[in-house]
Amino acid sequence: MDVWSSLMDGFATALTPMNFLYAVIGVLLGTAVGVLPGLGPAMTVALLLPVTYALEPTSAFIMFAGIYYGGMYGGSTTSILLNTPGESSSVVTAIEGNKMAKAGRAAQALATAAIGSFVAGTIGTALLAVCAPIVVQFAVSLGAPSYFAIMVLALLAVTAVLGSSRLRGFASLALGLAIGLVGIDSVTGQRRLTFGQPLLADGLDIVVVAVAIFAVGEALWVAAHLRRTPLHAIPVGQPWMGKSDWKRSWKPWLRGTAFGFPFGALPAGGAEIPTFLSYVTEKRLSKHPEEFGKGAIEGVAGPEAANNAAAAGTLTPMLALGLPTNATAAVMLAAFTSYGIQPGPQLFSSQGPLVWALIASLFIGNLLLLLINLPLAPMWAKLLQLPRPYLYAGILFFATLGAYSVNLQAFDLVLLLVLGTLGFMMRRFGLPVLPLILGVILGPRIEGQLRKTLQLSAGDPAGLFSEPIAVVVYIIVGLILLWPLLFKLFRRTRPAPKTAVPANSGATVPREVGGSVSHGSHRADGPADGDGDG
Amino acid sequence: MSSLISGLKGRAELGVALLLGAAGVLVFLDANRLVTPYSQSDPVGPKTVPYIVAGLLLVCAVLLAVNVIRGGQGEAEGGEDVDLTHPADWKTILPLAGAFILNILLIDWAGWVISGTVLFWGSVLALGSRHYIRDGLISVALSLLTFYGFYLGLGIALPAGLLEGIL
């Protein structure tokens, strides 16, 4: 089908008064919750999931679009005004953004972040609209073996590439896969890990798992280490930018977008790597390199654009392949399935109008963000002063409400507490949260593809390699697993200075950059904190 | 004995390895108990993946234990309101968990408005607020608002419990 006409149909659906209202509510809710410290976009979506249950799918997803971008934008406000990023993807924004705010240029920092997010989000969404159908065309030709391989790649990539400890990543992944096993096996009807408990037969509700790990785990963790004297938020007036600010911002916006989208679309993409790359690039290209570290506007404009473009990029594999690559997309995928909608190549043909309405409302949400957030910024900044006891008690309150309202069973609250304790423990001992969530969501799907593959090959393991794409993907998987080994060899032949972290051999930056953020700097190299998205 | 204790001190992370190991054994035993005849249409069967997961859990448990004994340590997670310089504050956590458990016990019997009030008020108290009356009023207001909000706005009837007929 023609992209343009489908998109216009999408706009027609999304712009009906009721749906438009849902988009506005989504943007407002998303931003408000996203601004609150301690609440990343993934948690925002998880907490607000129950609110959308009563709506019909189209309206619900239009609201999600607003919540998604709103939550993202809210995070950058927090990091600029508080200097302690809620999401690992906002770490870089905090470096220059908070310096600008301290130097009395908070208004400009917020403005360049908001407008940059708008520019990047719009371009990113346009790229999504163009790319997703192409990926779909490619994906419909894929069979179970390729799907199996691609899902394995996504899990391994997220586990092995992001985060500071691969071992702890795999531990988290294994726990997630185990949680995903609970319930009746769909093929044979056998009960697995239910311990005779009928309430476990349907498996664990993904909303309960996500809310427990993200919200309850986080609230308990913060409660244990609550700062005695809350950080001081810098007050801010109406965001605006002068002529020179525009001149210095527009190129970083575009370059940031170029970094963000492709990385977001990759299986282990996330927003950390492109935001760091964007920061380094801007520092190198800037005419005012001396301002970096003291509040250079380029250092806010580029990474913020990269962050939002990555957010749009993430939706490409999510919609076209049913493959979530970050926590927020994983929770959204869970939302899709709770409506009985299976994301994947068939989605565009079976639920065409819904998908295009979602994409159209991403455009609308983006514009609304700009229109709403520039004037409302001072009000959002006030949210940062919410007394912490109310904030974290509120998180627990709404987490309970959300988890309970799914099935109206007190048993779900017991699960919430147990898994919340698990989330607490993971934060205490440095186990990343993202692999667990992806394991829970992708585990059953991977198993399904594996069984389909071997069913087609009548049990012959060679069936796993029966498609060329699958073979290529396994080679990439092998490279990722062997990467530390190759890296050591590389280092031995050419001793590099203080190289560290992710997928990119040239990325010497993350640790150095991370080190210059005063609080929560270790998040820079431990990005798999669950909000690791863009 | 004392050397063992000092060796274990600061190695609380071994508990994580233990948990992973226990989970691995549990998954293995559970899968082992399944009986399925071989079927042409499902050569993989319901046991294969649990075995793989159990194996992964056990391998991770062993590697993590080795890592911790050799001095490896996971980095605790930071955040806006997290101050890692002081140790975990159990005087906050335990009352907080208490409020949560109280809510679980009360929700079906006393209803959401009462249990939610207890939950919020107890949590705020545990987290260090000392405005007892203001907090109480906020708790009641929040519970009532969400009760009616969910009922009227979303069509979800939260349990009314003891207040059945009044609300």
The pLDDT value given to residue B118: 94
The pLDDT value given to residue B42: 80
Nearest to B34 among A174, A190, A458 (CB): A190
The pLDDT value given to residue B153: 77
B chain contacts of residue A178, beta-carbon cutoff 8 Å: 23, 27, 53-54, 57
CB-CB contact of A396 with A222 (8 Å): no
Which of A56, A400, A442 is the best substitution to test chain B (most B C-beta atoms within 10 A)? Answer: A400
The pLDDT value given to residue B119: 95
A463-499 as b/e, with b when 16 or more CB fall inside 10 Å? bbebbebbeebbeebeebeebeeeeeeeeeeeeeeeb
Pull the structure tokens for residue A478: 């092998």
- A42/A47 Cα distance (integer angstroms): 9
Please state the rounded mean pLDDT for residues B60-89. Answer: 84
Mention every residue, 6+ apart, whose C-beta is less than 8 A from residue A58: A13, A19, A353, A354, A357
Mention every residue, 6+ apart, whose C-beta is less than 8 A from residue A98: A79, A80, A81, A82, A83, A234
**DSSP class of B152:** I
Please state the rounded mean pLDDT for residues B51-64. Answer: 95
Is the torsion defined by CA of B128, A47, A518, B64 positive or negative?
positive
The pLDDT value given to residue B8: 55
Strands A183-184 and A191-192: antiparallel
Higher pLDDT, A272 or A274: A274
Assess whether pLDDT exceeds 70 at residue A90. Answer: yes
The pLDDT value given to residue A364: 92
Q: How far B1 CA sits from the closest chain A CA (Å)? A: 26
Least confident of A392-406, B19-33, B48-62, B150-164: B150-164
Note whether B56 contacts A170, CB cutoff 8 Å.
yes
Distances (CA, A) of B4 to A307, A354, B10: 48, 62, 12
Portion of chain A with pLDDT greater than 70, in percent:
89
B115-138 residue pLDDT tens: 999 999 999 999 988 889 999 999
The pLDDT value given to residue A415: 94
Assess whether pLDDT exceeds 90 at residue A254. Answer: yes
Closest residue in B to A520 (Cα) is B78
The pLDDT value given to residue A234: 76
Which of A43, A175, A419 is the best substitution to test chain B (most B C-beta atoms within 10 A)? Answer: A175
Assess whether pLDDT exceeds 70 at residue A483. Answer: yes
Higher pLDDT, A388 or B62: B62
A495-511 residue pLDDT tens: 544 444 444 433 333 33
Start-end of H helices in A83-105: 91-100
A285-330 residue pLDDT tens: 888 888 888 888 998 999 999 989 998 999 998 888 888 888 888 8
Assess whether pLDDT exceeds 60 at residue A338. Answer: yes
B75-105 residue pLDDT tens: 887 776 788 877 888 888 999 999 999 999 9
CB-CB contact of A201 with B50 (8 Å): no
Q: Which of A418, A122, A167 is nearest to A257 (CA)?
A: A122
Count CB pairs under 8 A between chains A and B. Answer: 245
Nearest to B107 among A187, A390, A410 (CB): A410
The pLDDT value given to residue A269: 61
The model's confidence at residue A529, banded by pLDDT at 50, 70 and 90, is: very low
Higher pLDDT, A344 or B40: A344
Assess whether pLDDT exceeds 90 at residue B61. Answer: yes
Nearest to B78 among A165, A220, A519 (CB): A519
Q: How far B90 CA sits from the closest chain A CA (Å)? A: 7
CA angle A209, B46, B17 (to 5 degrees): 50
The pLDDT value given to residue A419: 95
Residues 302-331 of A with CB under 8 A from B: none
